[in-house]
Amino acid sequence: MYKVTVLEGDGIGPEITREAVRVLKAAAEKYNFNIDFDYALLGGAAIDAVGTPLPEDTVKRCKASDAVLLGAVGGPKWDNLSGDMRPEAGLLGIRKALGLYANLRPSKVFKPLKNASPLKLGDTACFDVMIVRELTGGIYFGKRGRFERDGVACAFDTEEYSQPEIERIAEIAFELAMSRNGRLCSVDKANVLESSRFWRETVLRVSEKYPEVELSHLYVDNCAMQLVKAPWQFDVIVTSNLFGDILSDEAAMISGSIGMLPSASLSSGSFGLYEPVHGSAPDIAGTGKANPLATILSAAMLLKISLKQEAAAAAVEGAVDAVLSQMRTPDIYEDGLRKAGTCEMTDAVISLI
């Protein structure tokens, strides 16, 4: 029996997680395993109920589970609260409390949605890239400050990485490359930054354990160009916190369907937190129009990575691909297809599993 904690969050969060849970239950039944679902509060819902965006009880429940499924947090109701009392503080807090150091963001073109990509994609030139971003180190967590030099105001941030921090993210990326097409591109700025030279040396050393994986290196500026020019050249990309933040958003946009993209944040072992890339969409909350597929695909990642139920994960992904040729929610609607709401789209996915 697996245990999954669900953090519904705010806005469309409860609607889309409800659908993903229905899909997980259907996949579990079909592939003969059991999932026990627990629910805990996060974000605005937690502020309203107990006065804090990340209650202790939520951290405890997540730590006692095999994986966490998260909807999204935030909304105008809480926009005027101060920084550490805002719903987003709950999101950053839970990632930190659970030691989630690897962020996995796939960006792919679903063939039926290829016209949504801002790139001109021929029939065969579709892409499927996995970006692995280091999430708990680097310049976002380094020493920073302000000072004055010769009467001029200055500010600084520091990029710092330890060898174990680089090794553990590189290992996740090599393992992923092994389970995909066997290619890994490490992205840095080793022509300028000492921390990048150290990153490259360390990734090279880790690569000795993975002779089957074809490793390449790119400077981040070149990678940003290559992602737009020919994204199909990439399989897995591994990079630091700052570079990964920027490149994963770029990769998401070129897929043309940001509302379709899942993500995973992993800690040691197989534990992970899974959530859609999009936010809580307060403008459509409660209308039954939210696209549940990014959350359903996050659930598929949960099945594959944390529960090791690879056949069930593949069945869910296949069902999502197939449903796109039958019906669409308004955000991805195209003429000639059936219009569907959140529940109807999920029903179709379930029937295709």
Q: Given the complex with ligand NAD, which of 255 and 291 has the nearer CB atom?
A: 291
Q: Whose CA is closest to 69, among 29, 117, 36?
A: 36
Whole-angstrom distance, CA of residue 298 vs CA of residue 295: 5
Q: How many CB atoms lie within 10 A of CB 341?
A: 18
User: What is the distance between the alpha carbons of residues 220 and 183, in angstroms, rounded to a whole number?
Assistant: 17
Q: Which of 6, 14, 16, 22 is nearest to 342 (CA)?
A: 16
Nearer to ligand NAD, 196 or 291 (CB): 291
53 binds ligand NAD (CB under 6 A): no
Choose, by CB under 6 A, the member of 72, 238, 316, 320 that binds ligand NAD: 72
d(CA 167, CA 71): 30
Nearest to 238 by CA among 271, 210, 261, 259: 210
Which residue in 66, 210, 245, 274 is the catalytic one?
Answer: 245
Q: Does 88 bind ligand NAD (CB under 6 A)?
A: yes
Q: Does 291 bind ligand NAD (CB under 6 A)?
A: yes
Work out whether 310 is an interface residue with ligand NAD (CB under 6 A).
no
Q: Which of 189, 274, 289, 304 is catalytic?
A: 189
We find the least distance from the C-beta atom of residue 63 to ligand NAD, in angstroms, to be 20
Q: What x-and-dash track marks residues 321-340 binding ligand NAD by CB under 6 A?
A: ----------x---------
Q: Does 171 bind ligand NAD (CB under 6 A)?
A: no
Active site residue 101: no
CA distances from 56 to 73, 111, 279, 308 (A): 17, 43, 23, 28
Catalytic residue check, 140: yes
DSSP 334: -
- Binding span for ligand NAD by CB under 6 A among 50-58, 71-79, 140-148, 229-237: 71-79
Q: Which of 196, 241, 265, 280 binds ligand NAD (CB under 6 A)?
A: 280
Cβ partners under 8 Å of residue 201, min gap 6? none
- We find the least distance from the C-beta atom of residue 70 to ligand NAD, in angstroms, to be 7
Q: Which of 119, 237, 281, 320 binds ligand NAD (CB under 6 A)?
A: 281
Cβ burial of 32 (10 Å; 0-12, 13-18, 19+) is exposed
Q: Among all residues, which ones are annotated catalytic?
A: 140, 189, 221, 245, 249
> Which residues are at the interface with ligand NAD (CB under 6 A)?
12, 72-75, 88, 91, 259, 275, 278-284, 290-291, 294, 331
